[in-house]
């Protein structure tokens, strides 16, 4: 379970998170929607401790992320994250990209790490591209590789930060299909996304962020068909126009 | 007016001596590169630390190494320090001078190479649970070395050629020093120096071809 309690975060004078409260139980698929600058991506990087917070508390399975003495490297093994920019390691093949963390972080042997990597890459449909360097892949393929790389650590939670935003439109589908597959397998996921149709289909709950505040959270039907907050209504109307 | 008679045989008779000198030249160049690379990594670390005195050291070092003659740097390492009572052998002075120069240039190369690697690479590595050292060693460093590889090759060539400046501080058993002494003994000036030039050329060419082969093996992406 991920518990976010009254989290505040500023970049200089700009407060990007103004007291966020949110609990994500195991097995839930939560999507976060909202305009740019609403703080949704920042929240994800705070959850895995890449960004510090100013006040409040985030706990993952009872471990407080920003507490002193928390082993973030260990915590991050449970929290897979995939970014808008897929950040393939260009000097490693697709297989090596996925094997690196299991080998160095989990200390697995070569054969074991390779077996995991092959399994995850096959899972996301890249079984034919194992020994290719990432520069040879399309954006969609690189993004799927990044997903496999995160999955290879067998995380309990997956955080997706606008993973389709940097892709050419015709490549968005293959990545969303991968996310759908993960959701159907019961992975706990928090997806920051601009893909409204996707959010509506796969989410257990949808959260709408606006100017650093979580304005509304609820079932997809509520958010998209019967929004309670005027800003949600305006946003939904705009994105569906 | 053109009364010089070539006597190549005499020069070729000295080839073994010159080749012995060439070995010293290679040794000097390799040592100065090895130490230079280590120092350059340290200097790059200093620069990244953003601690003022450390940054000042790097800036001064790089500025002097890149903007003054290598000959000056070698002179300082020999006659300069001798003024303060520190008498170093020509070999050591030459090694220090070239190493200083190498480290300055390489530190700048490394800085440029690091800048070319986006921060998001480290971020991605860290988010997979790697600690900062693992992220640097497995993700940043290999990419940095690729970018800096060609400049490093150039510096190695430059290091070989810089050994010729050693004669000015009395170095007499590297390739250039040996040639200089043989010239004083035999006056076969053109032949000897032509031969030395060919040996220098072959050495630098081997470095360049070798580097290309290594690069082709190491950097397949």
The CA distance from B59 to the nearest CA of chain A, in Å, is: 30
* Domain carrying residue A143: 2-240
Express each pLDDT in B14-53 by its tens digit: 999 999 999 999 999 999 999 999 999 899 989 988 899 9
Q: Does residue A241 have a pLDDT over 70?
A: no
Express each pLDDT in B60-115 by its tens digit: 999 999 999 999 999 999 999 999 999 999 999 999 999 999 999 999 999 999 99
Mutation target among B123, B129, B132, B133 for the A interface, most CBs of A within 10 A:
B129
Express each pLDDT in A152-193 by its tens digit: 999 999 999 999 998 988 899 999 999 999 999 999 999 999
- Maximum distance among all alpha carbons in chain B? 78
Q: What pLDDT score does B4 carry? A: 84
Which A residues in the span 140-159 are in contact with B, Cβ-Cβ below 8 Å?
146, 149-150, 153
Nearest residue on chain A to B141, alpha-carbon basis: A91
**Do A105 and B120 lie within an 8 Å CB cutoff?**
no
How many domains would you assign to chain A? Answer: 1
Looking at the complex, does the CB of residue A48 fall below 8 Å from at least one CB of chain B? yes
Bridge partners, A217 (sequence order)? A207
Cα–Cα distance list, B51 to B58, B62, B115, B119, B122 (Å): 11, 16, 18, 20, 21
We report the CATH number of the domain holding residue A231 as: 3.40.50.300
Q: What is the pLDDT of chain A when averaged over all its residues? A: 94
Q: What percent of chain A has pLDDT over 90?
A: 93
Cβ-in-10-Å burial (0-12, 13-18, 19+) of A12 comes to exposed
Q: What pLDDT score does A37 carry? A: 84
- Beta strands A188-192 and A29-34, pairing class: parallel
Provide CB contacts within 8 A for B28, sequence distance 6+. B91, B94, B95, B98, B159, B163, B166, B174
Of the pLDDT bands very low, low, confident and very high (cuts 50, 70, 90), residue A55 is very high
* Domain carrying residue B90: 10-218
Q: What pLDDT score does B202 carry? A: 98
The CA distance from A240 to the nearest CA of chain B, in Å, is: 33
Q: How many CB pairs under 8 A join A and B?
A: 60
ipTM: 0.90
**Do B130 and A85 lie within an 8 Å CB cutoff?**
no
The full DSSP string for A145-214 is HHHHHHHTT--SEEEEESTTTTS-HHHHHHHHHHHHHHHHTT-EEEEE-S-HHHHHHH-SEEEEEETTEE
Looking at the complex, does the CB of residue A89 fall below 8 Å from at least one CB of chain B? yes
How many domains would you assign to chain B? Answer: 1
Express each pLDDT in A195-205 by its tens digit: 999 999 999 99
**Do B120 and A90 lie within an 8 Å CB cutoff?**
no
Q: What percent of chain A has pLDDT over 70?
A: 100
Considering CB atoms only, which of B129, B134, B143 is closest to A90? B143
CA distance B7 to B180: 17
**Do B127 and A50 lie within an 8 Å CB cutoff?**
yes
B67 domain residue, yes or no: yes
Express each pLDDT in B142-188 by its tens digit: 999 899 999 999 999 999 999 999 999 999 999 999 999 999 999 99
B2 domain residue, yes or no: no
Bridge partners, A2 (sequence order)? A24, A60
Q: Does residue B220 have a pLDDT over 90?
A: no
Q: What end-to-end distance do the CA atoms of chain B give, in Å?
A: 60
B1 domain residue, yes or no: no
Average pLDDT over residues A65-77: 94
Average pLDDT over residues A18-31: 96
We report the CATH number of the domain holding residue B132 as: 1.10.3720.10
Looking at the complex, does the CB of residue A63 fall below 8 Å from at least one CB of chain B? no
**Do B120 and A83 lie within an 8 Å CB cutoff?**
yes
Q: What percent of chain B has pLDDT over 90?
A: 87
> Are the C-beta atoms of residues B118 and B102 closer than 8 Å to each other?
no
Q: Does residue B2 have a pLDDT over 80?
A: no
Nearest residue on chain A to B121, alpha-carbon basis: A87
> Are the C-beta atoms of residues A64 and A58 closer than 8 Å to each other?
yes
3-state secondary structure of B161: helix
Considering CB atoms only, which of B129, B219, B220 is closest to A101? B129
Looking at the complex, does the CB of residue A76 fall below 8 Å from at least one CB of chain B? yes
CA distance B77 to A154: 57
Q: Does residue B1 have a pLDDT over 70?
A: no
Q: In chain A, which residues have their Cβ closer than 8 Å to the Cβ of B131?
A: 73
3-state secondary structure of B126: helix
Q: In chain A, which residues have their Cβ closer than 8 Å to the Cβ of B122?
A: none
CA distance A172 to A167: 6
Q: In chain A, which residues have their Cβ closer than 8 Å to the Cβ of B221?
A: 90-92, 133-135
**Do B129 and A74 lie within an 8 Å CB cutoff?**
yes
Q: In chain B, which residues have their Cβ closer than 8 Å to the Cβ of A149?
A: 128
pTM of the model: 0.83
Provide CB contacts within 8 A for B64, sequence distance 6+. B73, B104
B3 domain residue, yes or no: no
> Are the C-beta atoms of residues A174 and A140 closer than 8 Å to each other?
yes
């Amino acid at each position: 379970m991920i518990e976010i309690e009254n989290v505040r975060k500023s970049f200089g004078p700009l407060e990007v998170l103004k007291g966020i409260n949110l609990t994500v139980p195991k097995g839930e698929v939560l999507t976060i929607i909202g305009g740019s600058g609403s703080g949704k991506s920042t929240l994800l990087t705070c959850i895995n401790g890449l960004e510090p917070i100013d006040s409040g508390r985030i706990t993952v399975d009872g471990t407080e992320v920003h507490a002193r003495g928390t082993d973030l490297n260990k915590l991050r093994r449970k929290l897979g994250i995939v970014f808008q920019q897929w950040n393939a390691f260009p000097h490693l093949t697709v297989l090596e990209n996925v094997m690196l963390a299991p080998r160095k972080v989990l200390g697995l042997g070569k054969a074991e790490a390779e077996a995991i990597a092959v399994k995850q890459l096959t899972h996301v449909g890249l079984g034919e591209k194992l020994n290719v360097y990432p520069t040879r892949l399309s954006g969609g393929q690189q993004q799927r590789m990044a997903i496999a790389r995160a999955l290879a650590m067998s995380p309990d939670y997956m955080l997706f930060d606008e993973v389709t935003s940097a892709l050419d439109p015709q490549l968005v589908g293959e990545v969303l299909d991968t996310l759908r597959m993960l959701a159907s397998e019961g992975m706990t996921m928090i997806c920051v996304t601009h893909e409204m149709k996707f959010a509506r289909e796969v989410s257990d709950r949808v959260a709408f962020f606006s100017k650093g505040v979580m304005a509304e959270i609820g079932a997809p039907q509520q958010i998209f068909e019967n929004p309670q907050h005027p800003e949600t209504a305006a946003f939904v109307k705009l994105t569906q126009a | 007016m053109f009364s010089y008679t070539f006597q190549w045989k005499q020069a070729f008779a000295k080839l073994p001596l010159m080749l012995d000198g060439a070995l010293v030249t290679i040794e000097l160049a390799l040592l100065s590169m090895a130490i230079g690379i280590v120092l350059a990594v340290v200097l790059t670390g200093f620069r990244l630390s953003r601690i003022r005195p450390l940054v000042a050291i790097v800036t001064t070092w790089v500025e002097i190494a890149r903007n003054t003659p290598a000959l000056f740097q070698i002179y300082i390492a020999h006659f300069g320090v001798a003024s303060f009572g520190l008498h170093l052998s020509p070999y050591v002075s030459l090694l220090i001078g070239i190493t200083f120069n190498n480290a300055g240039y390489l530190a700048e190369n490394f800085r440029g190479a690091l800048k070319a690697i986006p921060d998001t690479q480290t971020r991605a590595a860290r988010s997979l649970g790697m600690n900062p050292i693992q992220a640097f060693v497995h993700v940043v460093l290999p990419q940095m070395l690729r970018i800096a590889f060609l400049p490093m090759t150039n510096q190695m060539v430059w290091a070989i050629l810089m050994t010729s400046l050693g004669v000015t501080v009395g170095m007499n058993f590297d390739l250039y020093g040996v040639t200089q002494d043989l010239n004083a003994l035999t006056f076969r000036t053109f032949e000897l120096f032509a031969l030395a030039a060919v040996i220098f050329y072959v050495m630098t060419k081997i470095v360049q071809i070798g580097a290309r082969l290594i690069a082709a093996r190491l950097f397949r992406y």
